A and B are shown apart, each in its own frame.
Chain A
Amino acid sequence: MAYSQTFKDHLARPRNAGTLPDADAEAEPVNPVCGDRLRLALRLGGGRIEAVRFLAYGCPPTLACGSALAELLEGMTLEEAARVTRARVAEAAGGLPARRQHAAALAVEALREVLRLIQTRGEI
């Protein structure tokens, strides 16, 4: 399976990997079929996403999508973040093989869950 250079770069130098102790919200959805998991944590400041961290376990597309999403989100407003799609994550990850698109779905699921938590808490 051929992966792009961008994709491989995400694996070798993951962006914003780690934990965020002072996160405003954090979610860790799991793909029930394959067990892949992606933890996403955001901290807000000045109406924007000030800090993002991710952790991921699973196949390379899941790791690359976590890294790509964490890079994309930094500096976005919550409205902009809400408009991030699977296709945009996949593109930022350097493209995904046809049968690995589910990795982008898991990343967007993590994002939606975090945004929902923030809205629920009225921190918007």
Chain B
Amino acid sequence: MRRVYFDHSATTPVDRRVVEAMLPYLTERFGNPSSVHFYGQEARGAVDRARREVANLVGARPNEVVFLSGGTEANNLAIRGLCEQHAEQGRHVITSSIEHSSVRGICDALGRRDWEVTRLPVYDDGLVRVEDVRAALRPDTVLVTLMLANNEVGTVQPVAEVGALVRERRAGGQKLWLHTDAVQAAGGMRVDVDELGCDLLSLSAHKLYAPKGVGALYVRRGVRLAPQNIGGHQERERRGGTESVPLIVAFGEAARLTRMELEARVEHVARLRERFEAGVEARVADVVHNGDRTRRLPGVSNISFRFIEGEGLLINLDMQGVAVSTGSACSSGSLEPSPVIRALGRDDELARGSIRFSLGKDTTEAEVDYVLEVLPRAVETLRRLSPLYQKAQAERAGAPA
């Protein structure tokens, strides 16, 4: 069966060049970077080179990059580390209502530990307003954590504007920092920590055609964090534990390739997404696009299909070899429509019927066309089953022309 992977926001296939780069560190170059001898120094050199590449990807200095296990750990170290370190300065955090579940979970946990969390709304375009951030700021606010690009709809948040606001408050003497989760953004847009004005920025390698299990947190020089993984001196005391050298090397190579190829990748996926969305609109009625269609990542398309539920469509597509994702879930009879799509102001039916299609650097036109061939049939199969669709059709037939 033909297989098409349209779920690059979940994870990306590992680039062959990345595999080649890491292989020696799984075999003969096995040293521990903390060892003084040749083997150790060989590994240390590889980690240092990777650190430079990851720093270059986001316009940072190498010693501002902390390697760790991935995006979730980066978010934990950033948010919990910052809040615990600066609890004396204040216990108020501002975040958005469409953050990745890891940030949501961390903020919920802080809320149970005597921190106050303000969760800003997004509007029907999936974007946070800077004015809302300004209005939510208090003298005891220590952290604003706002994702750079959303993982479900791909909307790019006004982080640079919030960064300017944070700097303005800091100039006025307030102890206030800005974290941004750039896990989704890094592969789809230029990311520069100075342009964003952020103090902390989370990255994950497996969204950049590297393996799972490695990520990084950018920590601006001078920003102090309470380490969350203690007991080792690695990563300048900020993240104890022997470095995963092969994974870090892979991350470094993936970061280098992303930086070199970003423009071409963005142009490629944007063109294919346009072809895809135009094709969907031409072939499937009753669809609603979720999120602002200009301020979003180039490879992400989130569409709600009226009258049907996302998981059924996902399974139908999977049976025809097409991999996509849905943010909604149902368990034990309790409906959990995508909180992100709900936050956009969509009703339960639209939130349940949302599907994320995410294209990648190696997606082809032929793959887009194949999805456009099978998707209308899958939607039609489910709509023929749907009492909501039958009702709407009957109403339309009975309505005056």
Task: Tell me the A residues contacting B by CB distance below 8 Å.
Answer: 3, 8, 11-12, 14, 17-19, 28, 31, 33-37, 39, 54-60, 63, 66, 99-100, 102
- Tell yes or no: B105 within 8 A of A by CB: no
Contact B333 A39, beta carbon cutoff 8 Å: no
Contact indicator A57/B386 (Cβ below 8 Å)? yes
Contact A100 B331 (CB under 8 A): yes
In the bound complex, how far is the Cα of B311 from the Cα of A66, in angstroms? 16
> In this assembly, does B194 line the interface, its C-beta being within 8 Å of a C-beta of chain A?
no
- On chain B, the residues within 8 Å of A37 by CB distance are 387-388
Q: Encode B283-314 as 1/0 by CB contact (under 8 A) with A.
A: 00000000000000000000000011101100
Cβ contacts under 8 Å, A18 to chain B: 384
> Are the CB atoms of B387 and A59 closer together than 8 Å?
no
Least Cβ–Cβ distance between A67 and chain B, in angstroms: 8
How far is A6 from B42 in the complex, measured between Cα atoms in Å? 54
B261: CB under 8 A from chain A? no
How many angstroms from the CA of A34 to the CA of B334 in the assembled complex?
A: 5
Residue of B with least CB distance to A61: B330
**Docked complex: B355-401 residues within 8 A CB-CB of A:** 381-382, 384-388, 390
Interface of B is mostly: helix
Q: Cα distance A39–B391 when bound, in Å?
A: 12
> Please, what's the 1-or-0 string for B213-237, where 1 marks a CB less than 8 Å from any CB in chain A?
0000000000000000000000000
Q: Can you give 23 A-B contacts (C-beta < 8 A)? A: A3-B315, A11-B312, A19-B390, A33-B333, A33-B334, A34-B333, A34-B334, A35-B335, A35-B352, A36-B330, A55-B390, A56-B385, A56-B386, A57-B308, A57-B387, A58-B309, A59-B309, A59-B311, A59-B330, A60-B309, A60-B315, A63-B385, A102-B333
Contact B315 A57 (CB under 8 A): no
CB distance from A104 to the nearest CB of B (A): 11
Q: How far in angstroms is the closest Cβ of chain A from B343?
A: 19
Q: Whole-angstrom distance from the CB of A20 to the nearest CB of chain B?
A: 12
Q: Are A17 and B385 neighbours in the complex by a CB distance under 8 Å?
A: yes
Q: How far is the CB of A62 from chain B (nearest CB, A)?
A: 8
B281 in the interface, Cβ–Cβ < 8 Å? no
Contact of B385 among A14, A99, A100 (CB under 8 A): A14
Chain B residues with CB under 8 Å of A33's CB are 333-335
Assess whether B108 is interfacial by the CB under 8 Å rule: no
CA distance A22 to B384 in the complex (A): 19
A100 to B312 CA separation, bound complex (whole angstroms): 14
Distance in angstroms between the alpha carbons of A66 and B309 in the assembled complex: 15
How far does the Cβ of A4 sit from chain B's closest Cβ, in whole Å?
12
Chain B residue at minimum C-beta to C-beta distance from A56 = B385
In the bound complex, residues from chain A placing their C-beta under 8 Å from that of B384 are: 14, 17-18
Q: Measured between alpha carbons, how far is A22 from B315 in the docked complex, in Å?
A: 33
* Chain B positions within 8 Å of A54 at CB level: 385
Distance in angstroms between the alpha carbons of A10 and B335 in the assembled complex: 22
| Highest count of chain B CB atoms <10 Å: which of A14, A18, A63 | A63
CA distance A37 to B388 in the complex (A): 9
Q: Write out the residue numbers on chain A whose beta carbons fall within 8 Å of the beta carbon of B387.
A: 28, 37, 39, 55-57
